[in-house]
Copies of this chain bind each other. A is one copy, B any other.
Amino acid sequence: MYSKELLKGTLKTIILKLLSESDQMYGYQITQKVKEITEGKINLTEGALYPALHKLEADGLLSTEKIEVGNRVRKYYRLTQSGNNTAQEKVEELKEFMETLKSIINISPQKLAWSI
């Protein structure tokens, strides 16, 4: 597990990306999926996930559907039209941000000194 603070700000983008690649998903499934893809390196906590889902829904990016499975109810989320657009934007923004971060993380002493 990584220092949790790194995850800050990326959670919504992760949710939107997963939903953009699948028809619909429910909360618990998202946590398991992320755990699986990242080989256990990222574990979403419920206290972070559910408020984030609710916020995305409130913002009109997700719609929900409750489906009974046995005696339990699952709440499925799917992207709205607006959510689909936002998903693409957020993912693109995250990619660019990571490239920019790399430019700092991979800087050499020479390049840094160049203009100090």
Contacts and interface: CB of A to CB of B under 8 A. Distances in A.
A107 B21 contact: yes
A103 B9 contact: no
A99 B9 CA distance: 16
Contacts of A108: 21
A82 B18 CA distance: 39
A103 to B, nearest CB: 6
> How many copies, total?
2
Interface residues of A, number: 44
A28 B38 CA distance: 37
Contact of A101 (B10, B25, B102): B10
A93 B2 contact: yes
